[in-house]
Amino acid sequence: MKRKSNYPALVLHGGAWDIPDDLVEAHFVGIRKALHIGWKILKNGGSSVDAVEKTITNMEDNPTFDAGKGSFLNALGEIELDASIMNGKTFRAGAVAAVKNIRNPISLARMIMDKSEHILLVGIGAIRFAKEHGITPCAMEDLLIGRELQRWLELQKEPLSSTKDVFRSQKKKNIPSGTVGVVAMDCNRNICAGTSTGGTPNKYPGRVGDSPLIGCGTYADNDIGGVSTTGWGEAMIKVVMAKTIIDIMEQSNGNGNVAAEKGIELLQKKASGYGGAITLNIYGEIGIAFNTPRMARGYITAGMKKPIIEV
């Protein structure tokens, strides 16, 4: 039986965690806006790479999510950002980690993918690359919002030293972790995946989670599919989450739902980890799985009259 294809297709997430009730609506609206932007590009014949970049920049600019503006502060009260993008056709990828003063880390990641022989640039080296390629650094104030400054000030009152502790206190307080990620397939059946994050609240300076790591937070292969993950980065790294899900997808006749579910099961079993994943296979079929109380997510594919959005 020939399988029906649903491309173009677009799926995205705005983080998996215990999103508090009063932020659900903002997540819902943010995802709808982002889907609208990416879908317009894909419907008009634009590339999956453009769709992923523009959808993510919109979510980075939206203070609802823990990416770009509105990101968590690290233990020093700084904002350090991570992002990655991978083109499933060319296998090229770009990523940045622990970069300060960059408004849209996903665009810098894409620039590294497009204009350099490297994949991952970190810290001041990534800033140097940005400046050399016409991206002007922003002020920290352009990324900082009152909600996060307040959270950081409160965290400084507590004698917490580890992310684990912060995550535990987060759980108690229902604080969301809003990494954003997108997977898209365009009219030419090219798949692209990308992820962007401010990391974890009060993280150690220079800490890098799974989001900017190809194979952990992001993966795309035109022959199999694309993945973006979200959750506790250290556990994701231990099981190399995105590549593991892609491999399961390859072995399960391209079933992205099964792959995402099995991947998240493995995350819990092997690394006691919590998080979520979105997938898209070569037929434009969407897969979503998470083992957290909530995950903000949405998708739309050819043939659908309107997007599905859930938080």
Q: Annotated catalytic sites, by residue?
A: 179
Take residue 78 and report the two structure tokens written for it: 């700084």
Region of residue 193 (phi > 0: left; psi between -120 and 50: alpha; otherwise: beta): beta
CA 265 – CA 259 distance, rounded (Å):
10
Q: Which residues within the stretch 19-48 sit at the binding site for a copy of itself (CB under 8 A)? A: none
Would you say 175 and 20 are in contact if contact means Cβ atoms under 8 Å apart?
A: yes
Nearer to a copy of itself, 102 or 296 (CB): 102
Cα 93 to Cα 191: distance, rounded to the nearest angstrom: 12
Q: Work out whether 110 is an interface residue with a copy of itself (CB under 8 A).
A: no
Omega cis (within 30) before 8: yes
Contacts with a copy of itself: how many residues (CB under 8 A)?
44
- Is position 129 an interface residue for a copy of itself (rule: CB under 8 A)? yes
Per DSSP, what are the bridge partners of residue 122?
Answer: 97
Q: How far is the CB of 126 from a copy of itself (least distance, A)?
A: 5
Does residue 85 interact with a copy of itself by CB under 8 A? no
For residue 250, the SS3 value is helix
Verify binding: residue 140, a copy of itself, rule CB under 8 A. no
Using CB under 8 A as the criterion, what x/- string covers residues 178-207 for binding a copy of itself? Answer: -------------------------xxxxx
Q: Which is nearer to a copy of itself, 108 or 288 (CB)?
A: 108
Residue closer to a copy of itself (CB basis): 216 or 282: 216
98 binds a copy of itself (CB under 8 A): yes
Q: Which two tokens stand for residue 62?
A: 């939206």
Distance CA 277, CA 292 (A): 11
The residues binding a copy of itself (CB under 8 A) are 80, 91-93, 97-98, 116-126, 128-129, 162-164, 203-209, 213-216, 219, 233-234, 237-238, 240, 243-244, 247, 270-271
